[in-house]
Amino acid sequence: RLLKYGPSVPVQEPAGRLFLVLPRFGTISPWSSKASDIARNCGLTKIQRIERGIAFYVEGQFSDADAQAIADSLHDRMTQLVLGDHAQAAGLFSHAEPKPLTAVDILGGGRAALEKANVELGLALAEDEIDYLITSFNGLGRNPHDIELMMFAQANSEHCRHKIFNASWDIDGQSQEKSLFGMIKNTYEMHSEGVLSAYKDNASVIVGSVAGRFFPDPDTRQYGAVQEPVHILMKVETHNHPTAIAPFPGAATGSGGEIRDEGATGRGAKPKAGLTGFTVSNLQIPGFVQPWEVPYGKPERIVTALDIMIEGPLG
């Protein structure tokens, strides 16, 4: 049943040009992680990994440009690739040696060297971040490695730091007193009653009630029910950008990050209930397009609203 995941297709003799859609080499798909674990838990201990691909056969004569257009429409280039031969699929299970560290010569090449690395590595560093890195590594007297720059870029990305959300901004030329994030925090600043922790840990905590908890006494090691305060934790996780690019893993890592933050708040917490919401454009379901659904289009880098709503909730 694992291998029958996805839409069912009548069995027929393959004919036409092959377009084999697989996860990108060097990655492990979420489906593979689950399927491989299930197989091992069923006693198939010699199985190291199961992966899944889809073979499309397209009949007719077409140019290389046509073939590329077909391939583009069949796969998500962020998470998948397209092959023309089954034998090439063996590369999916290959294990390449890690590449050695590469230093970016800012001591010799200055700002230009870092700006070049910024483009080649896709770091999306701002001008002030480039200035900061140059000053820091000149002070250390050494060049940065590519992995250090990548870690810096991720840790200081909009996704992690909310730089735009925390930025100063103007309306009709008038500087606003509070940032967008500051406006949200203002609610807590004006009415903090019953709030034990907010905007300083992995999640917020409000006053709960006294309840019985069952755990062992650290001295006697005997289990018993103990009445103690049990406070309520609240956590919101946005994962808009990853989910728009790869809905299933994007939403899955959003949920995992939310659960992780709960467990890392204070001395720890346990999830009790969760709520997920998706805000998307018109779905434009094939064969069921509604009169009000204007085809606004979308950026090339993200998937359709329908893809998000089909795959995201499953993640």
Whichever domain contains 140, its CATH number is: 1.10.8.750
The structure tokens listed for 272 are 């009790």
- One domain for residues 202 and 282: yes
| Domain endpoint, select from 93, 116, 136 | 93
The verdict on residue 185 lying in a domain is no
* pLDDT at residue 138, rounded to an integer: 95
- Asked whether residue 141 falls in the same domain as residue 89, the answer is no
- Cβ 185 vs Cβ 179: under 8 Å: no
Whether 281 and 220 map to the same domain: the answer is yes
pLDDT of residue 68: 92
Domain boundary among 52, 69, 93: 93
- Is residue 177 one of the residues assigned to a domain? no
Q: Say whether both 51 and 140 belong to one domain.
A: no
Residue 135 placed within a domain = yes
Which residues, 6+ apart, have CB-to-CB distance to 278 below 8 Å? 243, 308, 309, 312, 313
* Runs of H (alpha helix) within 56-179: 64-74, 106-120, 127-140, 146-155, 158-161
Within a domain: residue 176? no
* CATH number reported for the structural domain that contains residue 33 in this entry: 3.30.1280.10
Q: Are residues 85 and 110 in the same domain?
A: no
200 and 295 belong to one structural domain: yes
Residue 184 lies in a domain: no
Q: Please give the span between the terminal C-alpha atoms of the chain, in angstroms, as a whole number.
A: 19
For residue 20, the model assigns a pLDDT of 95
Q: Give residue 157's pLDDT.
A: 86
145 shares its domain with 232: no
Answer yes or no: do 67 and 124 share one domain: no
Count of domains for the chain:
3
The pLDDT assigned to 76 comes to 83
Collapse the DSSP code of 103 into the 3-class scheme (helix H, G, I; strand E, B; otherwise coil) and give the result: strand
Per-residue pLDDT of the chain (315 residues; tens, 9 = 90+): 776 766 677 777 888 899 999 999 988 888 898 899 999 999 998 999 999 899 999 998 889 899 999 999 899 887 899 999 999 999 998 888 888 999 999 999 999 999 999 999 999 999 999 999 999 999 999 999 999 999 999 998 887 888 888 999 999 999 999 999 999 999 999 999 999 999 888 899 999 999 998 999 999 999 999 999 999 998 888 888 889 988 988 898 889 889 999 999 988 888 888 889 999 999 999 999 999 999 888 988 889 999 999 999 988
Residue 54's Cβ-count burial label (10 Å; 0-12, 13-18, 19+) is middle
Please check whether residue 12 lies inside any domain of the structure: yes
Residue 130's pLDDT is 95
What does the alpha-carbon distance between residue 177 and residue 168 come to, in Å, rounded to a whole number? 8
C-alpha separations of 91 from 22, 27, 71, 239 in Å: 10, 11, 19, 31
Rounded distance between C-alpha atoms, residue 145 and residue 80, angstroms: 28
Q: How far is C-alpha 127 from the chain's CA centre?
A: 26
Give domain status of residue 100, yes or no.
no
Residue 267 is predicted with a pLDDT of 85
Quick one: 111 and 87 in the same domain?
A: no
Is the domain of 10 the same as that of 51? yes
Query: Quick one: 115 and 41 in the same domain?
Result: no
AA letter at 239: H
> Which domain covers residue 283, as residue numbers?
194-311
Same domain flag for 269 and 200: yes
- pLDDT at residue 270, as a whole number: 86
